Amino acid sequence: MQFVTLRAGHTLYRCPTPTDLLCPCGRVARALRRAGVAYEEVRVPYRRANREMIEQLTGQRRVPVLALDGGEAVCDSRRIVELIDAGGADVARPTG
């Protein structure tokens, strides 16, 4: 296991849904706030066809995506929340 520290410099790419209660993107935003992690939020278009930036970052067009300040991107709300909940500010994650 390698450790990553969640801190300012991370970016959450999420859908444009105006609430944090209805979608997986909101679940991630709530988890980040609950853990006290500062992050930048980028709202992407609803249509996957218009998410070229996400595809360049991850190879797919689904959100949420948490781009870590080290250049790595974590996809899927469940994986992102597990990463956050694994240790709060110091989070263990497998490499490779």
pLDDT of residue 2: 37
92 DSSP β-pair partners: 3
Confirm whether 70 is domain-assigned: yes
pLDDT of residue 46: 94
Confirm whether 13 is domain-assigned: yes
pLDDT of residue 38: 87
90 DSSP β-pair partners: 5
Domain count, the chain: 1
User: Going residue by residue through the chain (96 aa), what tens digit of pLDDT does each one get?
Assistant: 334 444 557 999 999 999 999 899 999 999 999 998 889 999 999 999 999 999 999 999 999 999 988 788 999 999 999 999 986 434 434 333
Closest CA to 25 of 11, 4, 36, 8: 11
Confirm whether 96 is domain-assigned: no
CA distance 23 to 18: 10
Containing domain of residue 61, as a range?
2-91
Query: Looking at residue 82, which CATH number applies to its domain?
Result: 3.40.30.10
Confirm whether 34 is domain-assigned: yes
CA distance 88 to 96: 22
